[in-house]
Amino acid sequence: MRQFLVAAVIACLAAAASAAEPVAERTAICLSCHGESGRSETPEVPSLGGQPASFLLIQLYQFREKQRIAEPMNSLTAEFTDDDLREVSDFLATLPPPTPAEPAEPARMEAGKELAAKHRCGFCHNPDLSGHDQIPRIGAQREDYLVKALSEYKSGARAGYDPAMVEVAQGIGDGELADLAYYLARFR
Amino acid sequence: MVLRIRGAGLIAGFAMAAALPVMAQQPAPPAGGPAAAPAPVDRGSALYGRPESEGAAKLAPVAPPPIPTPADKLPLAKLKAPQGFRVEVYAAGVTNAREMRLGDKGTVFVGARLTDKVHAITDENGARKVRVIASGLHRPNGVAFHNGSLYIAELSKISKIDNIEANLEHPPKPTLVSDSFPKDEAHGWKFIAIGPDEKLYVPIGAPGNINNPPETHAQIRRMNLDGSGMEVVARGVRNTVGFDWHPVSKELYFTDNGRDWVSEDVPEDELNRITASGKKHFGFPFCHQGNMTDPEFGWGHSCDDYEPPISLMGPHSASLGMRFYTGGMFPAEYKNAIFVARHGSWNRTKKVGGDIMVVKLNEDGSVKSKEPFLTGFLEDNKYVGRPVDVQVMKDGSMLVSDDFNGAVYRISYGG
């Protein structure tokens, strides 16, 4: 699956890097993995619906500069100009927020809710987990992606832009991570 | 956790008398006992200590955009300096410009906190050229220059590039000086400087907003330029991101960022001074701003046991880079005054800072006055720029770095 995706991405690289194309055509390749409706159906690939433009811009910048490593994103953005980064992030920010995962088992939801309170997710991500400015929407994000992202912050593999998430994730216990991701993915 | 203050490793003149009452109240734990464990990890973030109130919920750290502002969009027209001073753009496109240092041949080196690059700015017949001279670094906030070598401070290590100004086009990779530092992200980025004693001074911030840090943290250390002989110079320092030595007395002055979430108005950030006779513990986490015991960690402590600041710099104002003015261009009243970059608050509803303050001193090194010098970065409670550091140039002009816009400004007088 991954090999196929990378091949598909490389085939479209030239098209993606061409600034002359309308943004909707240029971003078709984004949506082929991240989901046209803002909800990703691809394992470990995040939903981008409802994400703040500032957050998206920072991620795209970090991919281009290889400060965040996640192929094929580094290849896709390698030739982007600053204006390309802005245009694509502004466009992606118009996608509608994803719908939460189902079903939501009450006991695990309760455990996850307590963990979200303990680790103060809502302090920065907003009480409704919708995100703002440089801070992403985490409510209704893909569960497997949340596990991946939190694990990478916790290990330091993903440094983040601001140090905030590494600071927080180092305090999340190994046993807590799954329940937290379960809850966030089903948050409504 | 308990506070343990070691006599060994402190510079001569450490006031043991000041430390003893603290030690008496909190005896060291038995070796290998459970009390030796690190501080609770869930306190390792800026969020720890925030009350559950509506006003507090609206406050979070402000992140700058990653892409530098183009030169013609910089907020130059909004910046105000006293009459007779002129402000201009020195260089744009210096992504996330943080600490600055001047090379012997006039190159300005600029660190970054949110990107992986160190920049060099050179003057080429009046036009500025901005180059990336090192990349792939982790929060390379700090830069220092000495005898042709550029020292770079990443989150937890110091490296250097020798003969840098002869190799700006194809600089070699930095070589390691020391990585004997904690790896914490919280307050782990560093401002560094080389003192008149030819030693490299390196701060290690408290790992989080408020906690009782391990004895490896909340301090300023110094070491030989090869990384050997590391020793502690000052303790109880929450997070200093700026220091410099008085041109006459050679005493070290430093800014320190106060804790958050106590209240809108206290504690204030500090301007501190290390003197031979003074205490070498500056209070954190027990005492803030010289007269306020911490609501949690202050119980059982007295501010009398710690060295007080020589000036208060405003609540949450993020007083960062500072330099003594040693140039010959500004009027005489600024000679040996301290210029302090206040990055500006996030942990306050009505923001403070976002300016350059000038602190003038008396002959004895105490503070005579404190006033705003360069203002205008804060407009309608929003930042249009955020100053991080100042650097005095050979001609006596002064540069100001702005990490929000990725730019460097130049302030000159007369002419």
Q: Which of A74, A167, A168, A170 is best to mutate for the B interface (most B CBs within 10 A)?
A: A167
Compute, in degrees rounded to 10, the torsion defined by CA atoms B282, B403, A50, A70. -90
pLDDT for B50 equals: 85
The tens digit of pLDDT for each residue in A119-140 reads: 999 989 999 999 999 999 999 9
* Between B404 and B55, residue with greater pLDDT: B404
Residue A67 to residue B67, Cβ atoms within 8 A: no
Tens digit of each residue's pLDDT (9 = 90 or more) over A74-98: 999 999 999 999 999 999 999 999 9
Residue A2: band (very low, low, confident or very high) from pLDDT cuts 50, 70, 90: low
Per-residue pLDDT of B245-272, as tens digits, reads 999 999 999 999 999 999 999 999 999 9
Q: Does B139 touch chain A (CB under 8 A)?
A: yes
- Cis peptide bond N-terminal to A103, omega within 30: yes
User: Is the omega angle on the peptide bond into residue A97 within 30 degrees of 0, that is, cis?
Assistant: no
Decide if B138 and A159 are in contact by the 8 Å CB cutoff.
yes
Rounded to 5°, the CA angle A185-A126-B285 comes to 115
Tell whether B296 is within 8 A of chain A (Cβ): no
Find how far residue A7's CA is from the centre of its chain. 22
Position B47 scores a pLDDT of 76
Higher local confidence (pLDDT), A15 or B255 = B255
Q: Which residue type, as a one-letter code, is found at position B388?
A: V
Residue A180 CA neighbour count, 13 Å, CB half:
25
* Closest Cα in chain A, distance from residue B382 (Å): 13
CA distance B223 to B9: 11
Q: Which pLDDT value is given to residue B415?
A: 73
Is B158 buried (19+), middle (13-18) or exposed (0-12) by CB count in 10 A? Answer: buried
Summarize the confidence of residues B232-239 as an average pLDDT.
98
In whole angstroms, give the CA distance from residue B392 to residue A183: 53
Among residues A10, A50, A5, the alpha carbon closest in space to that of A32 is found at A5
Q: Does B185 touch chain A (CB under 8 A)?
A: yes
| pLDDT for position B158 | 98
* ipTM of this complex: 0.84
Do A164 and B44 count as a contact with CB atoms less than 8 A apart?
no
Dihedral sign from CA coordinates of A17, A23, A24, A25 = negative
Quick one: DSSP state of residue B307? P
pLDDT of residue B173: 97
Of A61, A156, A171, the CB nearest to B67: A61
* Tokens (6 digits) for B250: 């050679």
Q: Do B47 and A58 touch (CB under 8 A)?
A: no
Q: Is the pLDDT of residue B46 over 90?
A: no
Question: How close B96 comes to chain A (CA, Å)?
Answer: 11
Judged on CB neighbours under 10 Å (0-12, 13-18, 19+), B366 is: exposed
Burial environment of residue B126 by CB neighbours within 10 A (0 to 12, 13 to 18, 19 or more)? exposed
Residue whose structure tokens are 């496109």: B93
pLDDT value at residue B43? 66
In the structure, what pLDDT confidence band is assigned to residue B11 with cuts at 50, 70 and 90? very low
| pLDDT for position B49 | 85
Can you read off the two tokens belonging to residue A41? 């159906």
β-pairing, B85-92 vs B407-413, is antiparallel
Q: Which long-range contacts (CB under 8 A, 24 or more apart) does A158-162 make?
A: A158/A68, A159/A67, A159/A68, A159/B138, A159/B139, A159/B185, A161/A58, A161/A62, A161/A134, A161/B63, A161/B66, A161/B114, A162/A134, A162/B61, A162/B63, A162/B114
Confidence of residue B235 (pLDDT cuts 50, 70, 90): very high
Percent of chain B with pLDDT over 70: 89
> Cβ–Cβ of B139/A163 closer than 8 Å?
yes
Contact yes or no for B270/B312 (Cβ under 8 A): yes
- In tens, the pLDDT along A164-188 reads 999 899 889 999 999 999 999 999 9
Instruction: Give B48→chain A minimum CA distance, Å.
Output: 9
Question: How confident is the model at residue B303, as a pLDDT?
Answer: 98
Question: CA of A97 to nearest chain B CA: how many angstroms apart?
Answer: 22
Taking CB atoms and an 8 Å cutoff, what residues of chain B touch A166? 185
- CA separation, residue B204 to residues B189, B264, B311 (Å): 8, 26, 22
Q: What is the mean pLDDT of residues B159-166?
A: 98
Q: What is the pLDDT of residue B56?
A: 87
Nearest CA in chain A to B186: A167
Measuring CA to CA, which residue among B359, B319, B374 is closest to residue B343?
B319
pLDDT of residue B30: 35
* Chain B: closest CA distance from residue A103 (Å): 30
The separation between CA B75 and the C-alpha centre of its own chain, rounded to angstroms, equals 24
| pLDDT cut 90: percent of chain B above it | 84
A120 closest CA partner among A68, A164, A154, A70:
A164
Region B310-334: what's the mean pLDDT? 98
Provide the pLDDT confidence category of residue B7 given band limits of 50, 70 and 90. Answer: very low
The phi, psi pair for B341, rounded to 5°, reads -85, 120
B101 pLDDT higher than 90: yes
pLDDT computed for residue A20 by the predictor:
60
Q: Which of A66, A120, A163 lies at the smallest CB-CB distance from B47?
A: A120
Gap from B98 CA to chain A (nearest CA, Å): 14
pLDDT of residue B24: 35
Residues 89-148 of A with CB under 8 A from B: 118-120, 123-124, 127, 133-135
> pTM here?
0.88
Q: Is the pLDDT of residue B73 over 70?
A: yes
Asked if B66 lies within 8 A of A119 by C-beta distance, the reply is no
Chain-chain contact of A133 with B63 (C-beta, under 8 angstroms): yes
What span, in angstroms and rounded, lies between the C-alpha atoms of B56 and B125?
51
The share of chain A scoring above pLDDT 70, in percent, equals 89
Q: How far is B29 from chain A (nearest CA, A)?
A: 24
Contact of B346 with chain A, judged by CB distance below 8 Å, is answered with no
Largest CA distance in chain A: 52
B208 has a chain A CB within 8 A of its CB: yes
pLDDT at B51: 86
Taking only the tens place, the pLDDT of each residue in A16-58 is 445 567 888 889 999 999 999 999 999 999 999 999 999 999 9
Residues of chain A positioned with their CB less than 8 A from the CB of B41: 170-171
Neighbours of B98 (CB within 10 A): 28
B406 close contact with A: CB closer than 8 A: no
Q: Look up residue A135 and give its two tokens.
A: 């801070």
What pLDDT score does B356 carry? Answer: 98
Q: What is the pLDDT of residue B39?
A: 38
What are B146's two structure tokens? 């000495």
